Each structure stands twice: as C-alpha cells, then as structure tokens.
Structure 1
Amino acid sequence: MKRHHDATRPEPFEPTPIPEHHRPRRPVADLVVGESVWYRDQRYWLERVPESWDASCMVRISSDRILPDRVPPKDRVSFCVHADHVTKAPVTRNPYGRQPTKKAVDRREMNRKEGTRDNGDTVAVILRQAHTLDDVYRLTAKHLGVKEADLRAKYGRLNPGQQRMNCGNRLRGAHKRGLLKLN
C-alpha cells in the first residue's frame, strides 16, 4: 500500500504564455492606476494594471475613484476587462472633481466639428442664422411680435454678448410658455 506522501508530486504550475494576437495593442505604461477610463460609455477608474502584458492582458477597473497608494473603498463595483476594451477618458483641470460624461464629451466634440458654441436647442438653431446683432434684434422682434426699437431701448445699454443672450432668453421664455411656435 502506497502512502500519500510517497506519491509523485505534481509539477509546479507554469502559466501558459499569452499568444501575441491576444496581447493589448498599447504599452503597459499608457495605463496608470487611478486614471479615468471609458468602458462601454461609462466612466471607470483603473484599480490595477499588470507590470507587463506577459503576466496578464486584463486590467481591473472600479466604479469609484481609486487613488494610488490608498485602500480602495469596499462598496465599489470592481471587475477585470481586457486592456483594449478601455480608452482614456478626458479629465477636467481638477482630476478629483466632477468629470464630464461620455455624452457631454461627444456633444462637445460634435459642436467643435460643426463650429457651433450653443446648446443646440430650437432657439439656438434659429439664432445661428443671425450673424450680426441687427439680425438678432430683427429675428427676436419678428418672433415675439414686438417692435425692434423697444428691444433696442431695453437692452441697448448692455454689451453685444449680453444683448444677444437676453434676446435668446426672451425667445426661450416665450417658446416655453407656448406663446410662439419655432420651427
């Protein structure tokens, strides 16, 4: 009868090397613990990054902000994903403050490509046609049914940006109350 300790010991575990086609495209140094990333259009923070892609292709991301050299919070949602499935997320001047959502970043990028700076609502689209302050007053007077001279008398003391803003706000208020239909 053979005893258990006499049995041959199994070979030590050696992980199989990661095939080249499974390795992430970016270098490991691009990902830093605590950095903000997008995963499936949601913002996450990197919790753990391997030292090299030889060890693993997976990075651990967390729903809560992870600060380097600190213990992560216990109530966080944390999971591993392939490193190619995350992309770096833009960060505001204060990396610990509130950060923009994916939708806000995409909207800003689209506005930049279109060359617009407004919020894209109905009134803003109509005011895009106005290239001068005279055009703004003319459009506002037409849609509100008031005299252009009355608008100029009321807002003429303001700077041009404030005049345009007030005309837009008057149009938005009337549109919100249902007093005019803007197409």
Structure 2
Amino acid sequence: MMEKGRLEAFSDGVFAIIITIMVLDLKIPSDGNWTAIMNDAWMSTFLAYLVSFIITASFWVSHHLIISNLKKVDSGLLWINVLTLLPMSLVPITTAWFGEFPNSVAPSVTYGLVYVLSVGALFNLSHIVSKHLANPVVQKRMRRVNRSRIGLIAIGLVGTGLAFIWPPVTGGMVLVVSGGWLFLRAVVHVRALEDL
C-alpha cells in the first residue's frame, strides 16, 4: 500500500498534458484582423478545442472526486488508474481530427467513441474504488453517481450513432452531456454540504 498522493500527482500531470497538447494544436490566425479567427477552419478547430477542454475538465473533476475518497492505494488500483487515463489520453488527437474534419463521419465517430470509453473508464474506476471504502454513505453516493454515468454512456452511444447520419452532432452531444454532468455534480456537491 502507498499514499494516494503519487497517484493524484501522476493523474493531474496527465490531465495537464492533455490540455496543453490540445491548446498547442490551435494555430495562430493568418493575419491581424478579426476575420482571421472567423474563418470556418480556425473556428472549427477552436470549437473542437473548447468542447474538449470542457470534457477534460469534467473528466478531471470526476477523477478527483473518485480518488479523493481513498486513503491509500495498492498496485491494482494504480493499474486501474492508468487504464482509466488511457482513453482520455486520446482526446487531443481525436479533437484535432474532429476539429479539422467536423463534417466527416470517421473523425466524428472516433471522437464520440473516445468520449464513451472515457466515461466507461471512470465508471469502472468509481466502481472499484467504492469497493475499497469502509463508509457506506460514500459507497451509496458513488453508486448513485455511477448510475448517472450509465445514462451518459447511453447518450454518448446514441450521439455517436447519429454521427453516421450527421457528423457534427458529436461535438454538440459531448458538450451538452459534459456541461450537464458538471452542473449535476455541482448540485450534488451543494446537497452533500447541506447534509453536513
């Protein structure tokens, strides 16, 4: 067993690198006029970055809340954590591809699948962490949150399926679902504080 600080530091580093790689994909506009950022190619890349930034923030907050319940970690949890971060590490490349070709099926479907796999990985991490906890109240809360993740996975799969018909739907679906998730998490947090 080891302290969870190393796991948190590693994970925070991965999330920071994900965001850094994404922002580096934004190219400097071609000239000093406002019209340079209003062209379709630059705006598409920027919107993909913005959506992915919100996704990554949502994943980071969820990951933090899951891990914050642990006191110590073992090697099994370290590996589960690494596997949780694996699909999330694909967010920058799928963001760049989707931002470059927002009306194409392959990048849109891939972007949606990476989102679904990432939420599924958080579901798995939360499920495993909850089994390591002694506090039944926290276990119950984590199970309730995980039930919400099942809904997110279902919505993600539907949105990804719709991308075969209309590819841009993927970005909107991911933005709405991630934004909604952050809002719901804020409501749950406020209610938990009221219970204290």
TM-score norm. by structure 2 comes to: 0.24
The structure richer in strand per residue is 1
- The higher radius of gyration belongs to 1
The structure richer in helix per residue is 2
Which structure is higher in RCO with an 8 Å CA cutoff and minimum separation 6? 2
